[in-house]
Structure 1
Amino acid sequence: MLGETTDDGTDEPDPALTAAGKLADTIRTTLGPSGLDKMVVGENGTVIVTNDGSKIIEWIDITHPVGRLVEQAATAQDSAVGDGTTTTVVLVGALLEEAAALRSDGLHPTTIIDGYVRAAETALDHLEQYERSVYSRHDDRLAQIAKTAVTGRWDDTSTERFGELALSALQAVEFDTSRLTLKSYPGGELRESVCLDGVVVDLETSSTSLEALSHPSIQTHDEPTIGMVDAEIGIEEPNHMESVELQDTTQRSAFQAHEQDRRTELIAQVVQSGATVLFCQKSIDEAVRTALVQRGVLPVERTRRDEFDVIARATGSTPVMAVDELTADTTGTVASVTERTVGTSQTLTLQGCPEEQRATLLLRGGTPHVADEVRRIAADCIDVTRVTLDDGAFVPGGGAVPTALAMDLAALSSGIPDRTQLVFEGFGTALEAIPRTLATNAGTDPLNTLTGIKQRHDAGAEAIGVGSDGHPRDMIAAGVLEPSTVFTSALQRAVAVVTQILRVDDIVRTTEDGRSTTNEHDHTHAARGGYPWAVGH
């Protein structure tokens, strides 16, 4: 599939290489601290500005099957470790480009595939000698790893802030991310972001009366009792069509009195349970809600299911299916519940959860788009920090490791007696695409920079990579550190998708009536979220 020969003897660009290459070219300029942003414009006029490879790929509608394979690899990389998406795609593009050159030199695809697999295994074996260990959760280098994930996406001050927030949030929950919640709100600056002890409930997602929350007696509760009802609170609705015929005003008054008595019973049951804050997963009758407020009980209705379950675990409260089942034994407690306005959103903060230590990273951004971007970057920081601690190892960034591995493969290839030697050399050249891209994005000559790095590596300085200015620099001294798992995962996924592509000799398309065609050159591409970043050829 790699390369076709036309009637005049010239080589025609391979469609697979073109599709993968265009995807790599689209996002390679975002790699590194000097990478540029992409402005993605949706068909409905929505505009996002980002340099995150996974976000850009998410917005591209890729119709070429090879492009979809690359997209799947990038998405899997982001889901698994939270970083390295751009690295994965750049490696795929470089490996396919080298494979095309090897194919034109007469190597069979199976020879290239076997060579790539062996070269990848060799590279990963050699990777261990460049790894450094993380000794504890209080290792200062964890903050540097978090900041490396942000470098180039924000200014230096904000990068420091992201690193601090990520590390403090993880330490607050003892690095258990299942107990950490991220929320972002527009209308503020990043420096206003804080890590709060406890759970933050967004009241914008419920229909709780904001007027009720302004009641002075319920703006703050110290050591409140938490009651939880996993059903509607109000007058029971019939489960089938019924009609009631009232003969006179006496019957009408009796009917209304019955409803009022039922509401009174509900209110009395809540008060008797001792609950001072009542969370309901569904709706609360308006009259009941108003009466509860007057009795000093804060009612919160239509609580999101995920938040409802978190509150139950954290407070020790047992949700009941009816108010009649609400008792002192089913309630829980927290140190305090405070109503606060974040931007234009009303929230409740439950602090001091006794049963499950919780933390919420409350993030701020000037606009909704910026707030979303802040949340995504904070999530990346948290992911790479947690992955580093779980794996216990990190490597110098800035393309130092790919360069070192490329040099190792070049040295080993001289001892390979068959044509696999060429594959090892090509694999090493593909690895060098990472430092070359970093140097290019920084505005320096990639050849000169790569040559300088290799000279320093030959002298024993294996931590030398591409600095933020595009020139060789010691990455450990610069604090540019990356989780070893991120590069390992990116390399494995890139090799997996490339070998899968190399095994394909044709694309067979089927029609609705079951007939098959082999029209490999009909590649139309449209952006589902953002032109002009449609990938095609």
Structure 2
Amino acid sequence: MHPRPARRSNGSSDHPADPFRSDRPGDDRAPEHGDGDGFDPVPEARAIAATLATTLGPNGLDKLLIDRGGTALVTNTGATVLDALEIDSPIGRVVRDAVSTHGDRVGDGTTTTAVLIGALLAEAERLRERGVHPISIADGYATARRNAIERVRERSTPVGPGDDRVLQQVARTAVTGRWDETAADRFADLAVGAIRGVGFDAARLTVHAYPGGGLADAETLDGVLVDTDASSTAIDDEVARFPRRIDAPAIAAVDGGLSPRSGDVEATVSVDDAEGLTAIHEHGRRSRSRLVDAVCDAGTDVVVCQRAVDDAVRTSLARRGVLAIERARRDEFDAIARASGAQTVTEHRDLTPDALGAADAVRRRTIGGTPAVALTGLPNESHVSVVVRGGTDHVAEETRRIVDDCVVAIRHAVSGGIVPGGGAGFVDASRSVSARARGIDDRSALAVEAFADALEAVPRTLARNAASDPIDVLATLRARHDGGQAAAGIDRSGAVRDVEAAGVFDPAAVLTGCLATASETAIAVLRIDDALVAGGSGPDADCRRGPDADRGHGCSHDHGHGGGRGSDRDGSSGEHAGYPWALSH
């Protein structure tokens, strides 16, 4: 059996602000057979992790995102930050795509995943400097990942759908630090009530954000809300004269548009005289009349379309008492069809009385100056729409993201149980992985122990963001966990306490998802030994084959050998110049 690596210290003056440097005593031996100046993906991955690390936890700070058009957005949601970053380096894009995929699949934990990836690659870099082969590191990381995930699952506590107190605590944990205490309670109540109203099926829940109000104006609607401003539905004079409420409407769902023009082929018609022009207008009028007749003859009161509705058709329908909603979002369109019982048709001529759905009422309303249509009392399937408000568009959108995070946390808690939060779950998993390393008798034991060290990057970052000394906090955490206090974690003040008693919980599924994505990404990066520019065909192919390939091939453009796109020597030019908008090496 190989000896466990010596513990390192992050008190070293070499790395005073590195959030991924371990706090364990050091091993400063020279590399046995290092990789020299070859391909090194670690700095690129660490740059992304460091960018997001300061947003982690209840004391995480916000990022001001500014796009090329000058639009500013303030957020501390890791997924939102990553989506906005312009990343030039290939490894940076690999890490970003992995974290984004995790966010799409799990719905939470993107920042934690990025922090873990940075820590795992930093630990791997130190092992490679000591002569450990990347394959041995990958094998050790795979073993450690399995052990850590099993430990989290063993420590998880089931939560019942009716346990309101715990579900609200889970939602509060997800929101703590992003708003004040009163708002956190309001978010938790909204999220718990909304997801319970749809039987914990997030597919039947939508969250809408509107400016011009506050969190106290948030409401939960039993039905589907369609933002007619976003869907480009014009409220002209005829539609404006509609009653604000239509009782017991018959609802048609057209998976297309309502226009006399058929197909997507553009055609040009030439006329030689006024009679020809009149004939064309008359043909269009008859086509529109037949279309309107088909919709009305089916007994339709409200028609919801996936594509555009011709202006003249919409006005004619309004005069005959039919409200047309165009360009409904796909999720809203599908929800309306399912919940109302309407059969989806692709053409207006396919509409029949049997294809229509029903609802108790359809109401036109204005929310913060934005027109909307609410369909309530849908008979076939329950659907809940949460309406949140904010003083500005940016605040309203951030409020929507917070509610989404609360809903995700609650759903995962019910399906997979919970573990103590505040970094306690990662410390507990680190102890379990470290114990596993002592039973391995090959060089992968070093990687398993390094994995255990990397897991402590999460509580270390939480402590640093809370302005506490991470060395002291981690020493206290280890001592508490060694003494059997598995619920010892870091509270919002940065102190170590029993987070379970404080009601701080994380969904187990989020932790296991973070562990799986981070380890798989780190292993994939570790197995890369070089970055090659792939050749192709065309006039510029020779330019892509290396700095000497242009000799004599006669291309006229600048190869940029002195510093590529977005990475000019002086850092002042290039398409993606500037940090953090361009992360490259």
Instruction: Name the TM tier (shorter chain).
Output: 0.7 to 0.9
- Matched AA of 2:150: D
> How far, CA to CA, are the matches of 2:412 and 2:473 in structure 1?
30
- 1:333 — aligned with what? 358
Tell me which residue corresponds to 1:312. 337
Query: How far off its partner does 1:183 sit?
Result: 1.7
TM-score (norm 2): 0.80
The residue aligned with 1:451 is: 475
AA in 1 matched with 2:368: G
2:582 alignment partner in structure 1: 534
- Number of the residue aligned with 2:228: 203
Q: Deviations over 1:418-471 (max 9, x none)?
A: 444433332221111111110010001111111112222222211010111001
Partner of 1:96: 121
Q: 1:515 aligns with which of 521, 545, 551?
A: 545
SS of structure 1 residue aligned to 2:332: helix
Q: What's 1:427 paired with?
A: 451
Instruction: Provide the residue aligned with 1:401 in structure 2.
Output: 425
Give distance in 2, aligned partners of 1:318 and 1:10.
63
Larger deviation: 368-377 or 338-347? Answer: 368-377
- Distance of 1:271 and 1:490 partners within structure 2: 53
**In 1, are the aligned partners of 2:35 and 2:129 still within 8 Å (CA)?**
no
The percent identity for this pair of structures is 40
Greater helix fraction, Structure 1 or Structure 2: 1
388, 394, 397: which one aligns with 1:363:
388
Alpha-carbon distance, 1:207 to partner: 3.4
How has the CA–CA distance of structure 1 residues 331 and 247 changed in structure 2, closer, same or farther, with 3 Å as cutoff?
same
Q: Distance in 1 between matches of 2:262 and 2:133?
A: 73
Question: Which letter maps to 2:212?
Answer: G
Check whether the contact 1:232–1:282 (CA below 8 A) recurs between aligned residues: yes
Look up the equivalent residue of 1:207 and give its one-letter code: T
Letter of the 1:408 counterpart: S
Q: Retained in 1: the 8 A contact 2:288–2:313?
A: yes
The CA distance in 2 between the partners of 1:297 and 1:481, in whole Å, is: 50
SS at structure 1 position matched to 2:501:
helix
Query: Where does residue 150 of structure 1 map in the other structure?
Result: 175
Distance 1:151 1:263, change over 3 A: same
Residue identity opposite 2:461 in structure 1: T
Cα offset, 1:310, TM superposition: 3.0
Distance in structure 2 (CA, Å) of the matches to 1:263 and 1:67: 54
1:385-443 deviation line (CA, Å, top 9, x unaligned): 2222222x211111101112222333444454444443333222111111111001000
User: CA 1:226–1:529 in structure 2 vs 1: closer, same or farther (change >3 Å)?
Assistant: farther
Task: Select which of 468, 473, 492 maps to 1:468.
Answer: 492
User: Which runs of 5 or more structure 2 residues have no equivalent in the other structure?
Assistant: 1-29, 536-540, 549-560, 568-573
Paired residues in the alignment total 527
C-alpha change, 1:151 and 1:261, in structure 2 (3 Å) is same
SS of the aligned residue for 1:278 comes to strand
**Which shows bigger deviation, 15-24 or 262-271?**
262-271
Which is bigger in relative contact order (C-alpha 8 A, separation at least 6)?
1
Q: State the partner residue of 1:441.
A: 465
Measured after TM superposition, the shift of residue 506 of structure 1 is 2.3
Distance 2:221 2:395 in 1: 21
Alignment partner, residue 50 of structure 1: 75
After superposition, what is the alpha-carbon deviation per residue over 1:360-408, rounded to whole angstroms, capped at 9, x for unaligned?
Answer: 12222221112222222222222222222222x2111111011122223
Match status 1:83 vs 2:102: no
Measured after TM superposition, the shift of residue 278 of structure 1 is 3.5
Superposition map of 1:121-160 within 5 A: 121-160=146-185
* Paired residues for 1:18-417 under 5 Å: 18-204=43-229, 205-215=231-241, 218-229=243-254, 233=258, 270-282=295-307, 284=309, 286=311, 289-320=314-345, 326-391=351-416, 393-417=417-441
CA distance, structure 2, for counterparts of residue 21 and residue 452 of structure 1: 27
Given the alignment of the two structures, is residue 500 of structure 1 paired with residue 524 of structure 2, yes or no?
yes
What is the match of residue 482 of structure 1? Answer: 506
Instruction: Give the whole-Å Cα distance in 2 for the aligned partners of 1:291 and 1:529.
Output: 54
1:306–1:497 CA distance, 2 compared to 1 (3 A)? closer
Moved more, 455-464 or 412-421: 412-421
Alpha carbons 1:187, 1:343 under 8 Å: kept? yes
Where 1:381 maps in the other structure, the secondary structure is: helix
Matches of 2:433 and 2:292, distance apart in 1: 75
How far the C-alpha of 1:351 sits from its partner, in A, is 0.1
Give the Å deviation of 1:324: 5.6
Q: CA RMSD in A?
A: 3.5
Contact 1:223/1:333 (CA < 8 Å) preserved in 2? Answer: yes
- Tell whether the 8 Å contact from 2:109 to 2:511 is kept in structure 1 after alignment: yes
CA drift of 1:38 comes to 1.1
Cα 1:472–1:277, aligned 2, differ >3 Å: closer, same or farther? same
State the shift of 1:271 in Å: 4.9
2:538 aligns with: none
For residue 459 of structure 2, give the secondary structure of its aligned residue in structure 1: helix
- In 1, the alpha carbon distance for the partners of 2:281 and 2:532 equals 71
